[in-house]
A and B are shown apart, each in its own frame.
Chain A
Amino acid sequence: MTLLHWAILSPFLFAILIPFLYKAFRKIHTGWFVLILPVVLFVYFFRFISLTKNGDTVTETVNWMPSFGIQFTAYVDGLGLLFAMLITGIGALVVLYSIYYLDKAKEQLHNFYVYLLMFMGAMLGVVLSDNLITLYMFWEFTSISSFLLIGYWYQKERSRYGALKSMLITVFGGLSMLGGIILLYLMGGTFSIRELVGMSDQLVTDPLFMGALILILLGAFTKSAQFPFHIWLPDAMEAPTPVSAYLHSATMVKAGIYLVARMSPIFATSGVWIWLVGGIGLFTVFWGSFNAVRQKDLKGILAFSTISQLGMIMSLLGIGGAALHYNQLDENIYMAATLAAVFHLINHATFKGSLFMVAGIVDHETGTRDIRKLGGLMSFMPITFTIAIIGAFSMAGLPPFNGFLSKEMFFTGMINVLSLDIFNFETFGALFPVLAWVGSIFTFVYSMILVFKTFTGKYQPEKLEKKPHEAPIGMLISPIILASLVVIFGFFPNILSDRILAPAVEAIVPSLIADGQTVKTEISFWHGFSPELFMTIGVIAFGVILYLTLSKWEKIYRVLPQRLSLNSLYDGGLRGSERGAYSFMNGHMTGFIRTYLVYIFTFFVGISLFSLWYNDAFSLEMDKMAPIGIYEVAVALLLVVSTVMILFAKSRLTSIILLGATGYTVSLFFVVFRAPDLALTQLVIETVSVALFLLCFYHLPKLSRHEERMRFKLGNALIALGVGVTVTLFAISAYSTKLFDSISEYYIKNVYEEAAGKNMVNVILVDFRGFDTLFEICVLAIASLGIFAMIKLRLTRRDEG
């Protein structure tokens, strides 16, 4: 265990302490203790920058289950470090914010911070693991802690619904991902990502490659809320706002992005990957932004906006994968897309985090998040308004904020698709820039709604629960830091480029860097009158028009009925599967033993006869058979007659007597086949059991003593016939294919010499194989005790009496 491992695991260890701290220091807000950890971790990870800047990486391995090839390998490169810093940095800010957001007296803070720290550790584990199984473990930890955090206010029905929904969807994806991981292991023979990347040339030709690709993508898409798995994210907004800001904008939803970026070197050689990641990402951009406009809840808008922005990063990563196919070019224009993805990743974390915190402040200070009730808050909360305007303008892609830069780079990446001439991109590839542009227009519109419907317009004090006022300074620190980062990255983007962006891009496309190409990470505000600029101008122009005419075209949202939405598909699917399972169970689990017996016998007959036929196993050899004597025939006839008569007996008494006759006939068989001990035992037992049957018969209730013949049922007759035929066929085949001689020679030889007995059956029972006898004695003892207990132990009657 190195320091790096302890750093990853420290949030888990610290989480153990939290309840004790909470109990011991009731006066101090528990968040203050928690705050120390992410700050320390952030500083710790900050020191890695100088390493990764030079292209160095850090790998530390601790054996976990080495015999299965599972190690806890911590691996720090540009990409992992970028995420680790996002997690710890924003984590620290969120903890600070939550100290002021959550009330010390009313909330169960120990729960909150335990879950939050669990999540932080899990997230660090995801981004810093090189071993896929370890990654999966941490991945599911994020799902579980997210579930706990969404359901933090578990008294609320909506919270529980949202928690369950996100759990189901992300765990579904997580399990798919595990399937993909196992397929990768089968192909490459290792769980290490770096080793898999090294053999990506072989992997692409493997027949399992496509399955692994799709399963891994399912995991990434569900986690990152890509279409159509985005539906859990808006419902996860029932979580406390710090959670929404942290998990559902900056970190957890980017785990899928991380996975796609991490796996790009392995999978991006395939056209399916580029189409799926790029296409679904881009459709998510459009769908998320389109739906964000209709939302009335601040956090709802932000949730859909997150979906849209994540789609943007995802599509950029998809297009960035195309760079692998152009590594012969000097100027690889598709690398720009990867760079844009990484850059926007940071930008989105900054402005979305601050916007969520703003939404939380508005909620905290006015008592509502409904934009129809809000308005004119500008004069009450000027600082919040400033932060909101910075965040929203950055989100909309306006200069001089960092969103503008990444939006321009996004357009650059999408326009580059037009020059893509592989994987049939000339067919529908032209849709990429168009969808991206339309999505950006809607992004502009909802960003404006977010700011102006909340902070300008008419102040409606009668609809608000509280008198609005500016938030306390502690609550404002975190969003101010994030907003100032938005501005700083906007004006000086190049402070990031060499230190953070370049190593991250190198980690996503390692094979290109090996060719000696350099990553061009210079980001400039002004690159001439390029098409991107005109697209941005178009976005602003159309966006303003659409925003101003919002009330006129809002009706189109009612065109698509609620019934057809993905949410109702999910709800209906859940309800349908529950109902289906219920009716399926009710359909065949009737509660009647005869039905189950029908199933058992039918399957027995079906499977046995099928395997007999399929393996052509039936054989009949006459030469092994003994000659048939007259007594055997006679006794067999007796047996058949008495057995068949049972079926047609009118009264139960007759059946019992006939059963006794059958038993006696069997003992006669034992006589004929020379088994005196068996015959003795059989006779006694048969007598006793007939007596017991008579006892049962005598105690039958008067009402149900129908003295009538068993009714004929064709199905039962067929099954009975089938079972009989099956067993007969098997017995004949088994007898005909005797492979070895019997071992009874040994017993015959040694029964007297070794065991001092002449009765061989008894010697076998008590000497050669006396162990079985012991347990049969045991069975009889249990049976007799059981009967005694059943007769004597009458708890219910005693209660009644």
Chain B
Amino acid sequence: MLEIIIRITLICVSLSMLGLIYRVIKGPTTPDRVVALDALGVNLIAIVALVSMLIDSDAFLEVILLLGILAFIGTVSFSKFLEKGAIIERDRNR
């Protein structure tokens, strides 16, 4: 029973990812894409979690954590890039 539910959920998440990818490709502005990417990362977390439930393994929990961190860092740096044109600013005092 649980397995069927997981599968249905997986399909739903995949469909939403397809939708997000459409948004990534289509645009129209870069912030749209960045937000879509962020959401993709979150969906990826969901997929990994579901898959690890499906294959009955706890080896992928680190992947979930890592994805969370990376999606956050990626989105922040993209935002900073869009805002200031540079990710790592120069130290003015040097």
A interface residue numbers (CB < 8 A to B): 630-631, 634, 638, 641-642, 645, 649, 653-654, 657-658, 660-661, 664, 667-668, 671-672, 674, 676, 679-680, 683-684, 687, 690-691, 694-695, 698
Contacts and interface: CB of A to CB of B under 8 A. Distances in A.
B30 interface: yes
Contacts of A695: 87
A674 B63 contact: no
5 A-B pairs closest in CB distance: A676-B59, A687-B70, A679-B63, A634-B14, A676-B60
B44 A657 contact: no
Contacts of B25: 645, 649, 654, 658
A691 B81 CA distance: 11
Interface string B1-36: 000000100110010011001001100001001000
Contacts of A691: 74, 77, 87
Contacts of B59: 674, 676
B44 A687 contact: no
Contact of B63 (A680, A694, A698): A680
A683 B81 contact: no
B24 A683 contact: no
A674 B55 contact: yes
B51 A657 contact: no
A215 B73 CA distance: 74
A672 B60 CA distance: 10
Contacts of B87: 691, 694-695
Contacts of A642: 21
Interface of B: 7, 10-11, 14, 17-18, 21, 24-25, 30, 33, 37, 40-41, 44, 47-48, 51-52, 54-55, 57, 59-60, 62-63, 66-67, 70, 73-74, 77, 81, 85-87
B63 A676 contact: yes
B79 to A, nearest CB: 13
A664 B30 contact: no
A358 B61 CA distance: 102
16 contacts: A630-B7, A631-B10, A634-B11, A638-B14, A645-B25, A653-B30, A661-B24, A668-B47, A668-B48, A671-B47, A671-B60, A671-B63, A676-B62, A676-B63, A679-B48, A687-B73
Contacts of A631: 10, 51, 54
A680 B66 contact: yes
Given A634-B14, A657-B37, A683-B63, A671 B70 contact: no
Contacts of A684: 66, 70
Contact of A680 (B7, B40, B57, B62): B62
A667 B52 CA distance: 14
A634 B16 CA distance: 13
A630 B21 CA distance: 19
A664 B41 CA distance: 9
Contacts, number: 75
Contacts of A641: 21
Contacts of B67: 683
Given A630-B7, A638-B21, 13 more contacts: A654-B25, A657-B24, A657-B33, A658-B24, A661-B21, A661-B37, A668-B47, A668-B48, A671-B51, A674-B57, A679-B60, A684-B66, A687-B73
A694 B73 CA distance: 14
A664 B62 contact: no
Contacts of A664: 40-41, 44
A667 B48 CA distance: 10
A671 B10 contact: no
Contacts of B18: 638
A672 B30 CA distance: 31
Contact of B74 (A649, A653, A680, A687): A687
B44 A668 contact: yes
Nearest to A648: B25
A690 B54 CA distance: 30
A660 B67 CA distance: 13
A658 B26 CA distance: 12
A292 B46 CA distance: 98
Contacts of A654: 25, 33
A683 B66 contact: yes
A422 B62 CA distance: 94
Which residue, A653, A676, A684, has most C-beta atoms of chain B within 10 A?
A: A676
A684 B68 CA distance: 11
Contacts of A661: 21, 24, 37, 40
A631 B21 CA distance: 17
A36 to B, nearest CB: 80
B85 to A, nearest CB: 8
Given A653-B30, A661-B21, A672 B73 contact: no
A645 B63 CA distance: 26
Nearest to B81: A694
Contacts of A649: 25
B46 to A, nearest CB: 11
A660 B41 CA distance: 11
A683 B44 CA distance: 11
Contacts of A687: 70, 73-74
A641 B14 CA distance: 13
Contacts of B77: 691
Contacts of B24: 657-658, 661
Contacts of B7: 630
A694 B80 CA distance: 13
Contacts of B60: 671, 676, 679
A199 to B, nearest CB: 75
A630 B47 CA distance: 13
B69 to A, nearest CB: 9
A696 to B, nearest CB: 13
A683 B70 CA distance: 8
Nearest to B59: A676
A627 to B, nearest CB: 14
Most chain A CB within 10 A, of B25, B33, B60, B74, is at B25
A799 to B, nearest CB: 25
B12 to A, nearest CB: 12
Nearest to B49: A671
A792 to B, nearest CB: 14
A691 B37 CA distance: 14
Nearest to A672: B51
Contacts of B66: 680, 683-684
